[in-house]
Amino acid sequence: MASGLAYWIVFCFGHPRREAGARRVLVQATVPVATAALGPTQRS
């Protein structure tokens, strides 16, 4: 059901290189997308 609201899809990656690869693909997304990468002290 359409609500008229815009929803963002958010991805968080464990490494900046993985985020960069995802951004290259997600640039063609038809919905708003945000990405982030964990810093070295945030990785488990």
Q: Note whether 29 and 7 are within 8 A (CB).
A: no
Q: Note whether 11 and 34 are within 8 A (CB).
A: yes
Say whether pLDDT at 32 is over 80: yes
Opening angle at CA 41, ends 12 and 13, nearest 5: 15
Return the H-helix or E-strand segment holding 33.
Answer: strand 33-37
Of residues 30 and 1, the one with the higher pLDDT is: 30
Say whether pLDDT at 38 is over 80: yes
Say whether pLDDT at 1 is over 70: no
Give the DSSP letter string of 17-28: HHHHHHHHHHTT
Q: What is the pLDDT at residue 19? A: 97
Q: How far apart are CA 44 and CA 31, in angstroms?
A: 30
Q: Give me the mean pLDDT over the 1-9 stretch.
A: 79
Structural domain boundaries, residue 1: 1-44
- The pLDDT confidence band at residue 2, using thresholds 50, 70 and 90, is low
Number of domains in the chain: 1
